[in-house]
Amino acid sequence: MSDLFPDLESTQPPVVITGLHKSFGDNEVLKGIDLTVTQGEVVCVIGPSGSGKSTLLRCVNLLEQPTKGSIKLLGAEMTDPDVELNQVRAHVGMVFQSFNLFPNMTALGNCIIGQRQVLKRSKAEAIEIAKKNLAMVGLSDRMDYVPAKLSGGQQQRVAIARALSMDPKVMLFDEPTAALDPELVGDVLAVMRDLAHAGMTMMVVTHEMSFARDVSDRTIFMDGGVIVEEGASQELITAPKERRTQIFLKRVL
Ligand code: ADP
Ligand code: MG
């Protein structure tokens, strides 16, 4: 852990969300969310479209400003106007449905730029770390390709390697496989599974129920801006207690 967050590992869970509300105009999208993610925990967030999953994830690193409530991320109170948001965000990897790579840079270039600009690493060190992470996602032979020459699954794996190159303490995934052709989904999920097994703290919004069930420690079911049910993933997905969870899972499984 860097000196930025000296207390984190000893005292505080990486993500502590308390009483989170978020409205867009008079549309209240999050209606009081309490959620703590502990060190090394993998939490999946499932629920119908429009239930507020993306908004929740975006509030975690303050890409959306909460209307009310507290977000403690890596020990920093994100709603405190004095917090250097970018300093905290530098330690949080985010992977979206759309890969958001720089189109004019190679896979390697995409994995280097943040390390150089934000972490001020030397060129040699940045290249070494980028190569290590591209190897980890199975793309050693595609380092010199620009995104347009890669499949969607490969682009998403570059996006993950890019995030990992920043040495994140937490990874946030928002439906990372939703835009992929079905045959490409498995490779991306395999990388995420490896990351989970390596002990990364992860929040994953996903419709991949087998990933949630088999890889994540805990699953949260959201509907209408609240957490309807949460529990150990295996249990929640195979034997949900709440009627709304049962109906949702019947539809998607
Ligand atoms: P999910 O990810 O579960 O599908 P979202 O968090 O994307 O749900 O959206 C929840 C609700 O919030 C939707 O009704 C959506 O229209 C609304 N919403 C999300 N982002 C914005 C925004 N930037 N401005 C206005 N409304 C938004
Ligand atoms: Mg969403």
Give the atom of ligand 1 at the shortest distance from the alpha carbon of 56.
Answer: 6
Pocket test for ligand 1, best of 23, 51, 55, 172 (most atoms within 8 A of CB): 55
Which protein residue's CA is at the shortest distance from atom 20 of ligand 1? 55
Quick one: average pLDDT of 207-229? 97
What separation in Å is there between the alpha carbon of 18 and the centre of ligand 1?
20
Q: Using the predicted structure, report yes or no on whether residue 6 has a pLDDT greater than 70.
A: no
Per-residue confidence (pLDDT) for residue 35, from 0 to 100: 98
* 11 vs 217, more confident: 217
Pocket test for ligand 1, best of 23, 24, 28, 30 (most atoms within 8 A of CB): 24
Quick one: average pLDDT of 32-44? 98
Q: Which ligand ends up closest to the CA of 53?
A: 1
Q: Which ligand ends up closest to the CA of 25?
A: 1
What separation in Å is there between the alpha carbon of 15 and the centre of ligand 2?
19
**Confidence class of residue 1 from pLDDT cuts 50, 70 and 90?**
very low
**Confidence class of residue 253 from pLDDT cuts 50, 70 and 90?**
confident
Task: Work out the mean pLDDT of the chain and round it to a whole number.
Answer: 95
Distances (CA, A) of 30 to 99, 173, 245: 26, 19, 18
* Distance of alpha carbon 61 from alpha carbon 146, whole angstroms: 28
What separation in Å is there between the alpha carbon of 229 and the centre of ligand 2?
18
**Quick check: 212 and 46 in contact, CB under 8 A?**
yes
Give the atom of ligand 1 at the shortest distance from the alpha carbon of 225.
Answer: 10
Quick one: average pLDDT of 166-195? 96
Q: pLDDT above 90 covers what percent of the chain?
A: 95
Q: What is the 3-state secondary structure (H, E, C) of the chain?
A: CCCCCCCHHHHCCCEEEEEEEEEECCEEEEEEEEEEECCCCEEEEECCCCCCHHHHHHHHCCCCCCCEEEEEECCEECCCCCCCHHHHHCCEEEECCCCCCCCCCCHHHHHHHHHHHCCCCCHHHHHHHHHHHHHHCCCHHHCCCCHHHCCHHHHHHHHHHHHHCCCCCEEEEECCCCCCCHHHHHHHHHHHHHHHHCCCEEEEECCCHHHHHHHCCEEEEEECCEEEEEEEHHHHHHCCCCHHHHHHHHHHC
What separation in Å is there between the alpha carbon of 7 and the centre of ligand 2?
32
Pocket of ligand 1 (CB under 6 A): 24, 29, 47, 49-55
Quick one: average pLDDT of 38-49? 98
Per-residue confidence (pLDDT) for residue 190, from 0 to 100: 97
Q: 170 pairs with which residues across the strands?
A: 92, 201
What separation in Å is there between the alpha carbon of 69 and the centre of ligand 1?
18
What separation in Å is there between the alpha carbon of 2 and the centre of ligand 2?
31
Sequence spans of domains, the chain: 101-168
Give the atom of ligand 1 at the shortest distance from the alpha carbon of 58.
Answer: 6
Q: Using the predicted structure, report yes or no on whether residue 78 has a pLDDT greater than 60.
A: yes
Cα–chain center distance at 200 = 11
Which protein residue's CA is at the shortest distance from atom 24 of ligand 1? 24
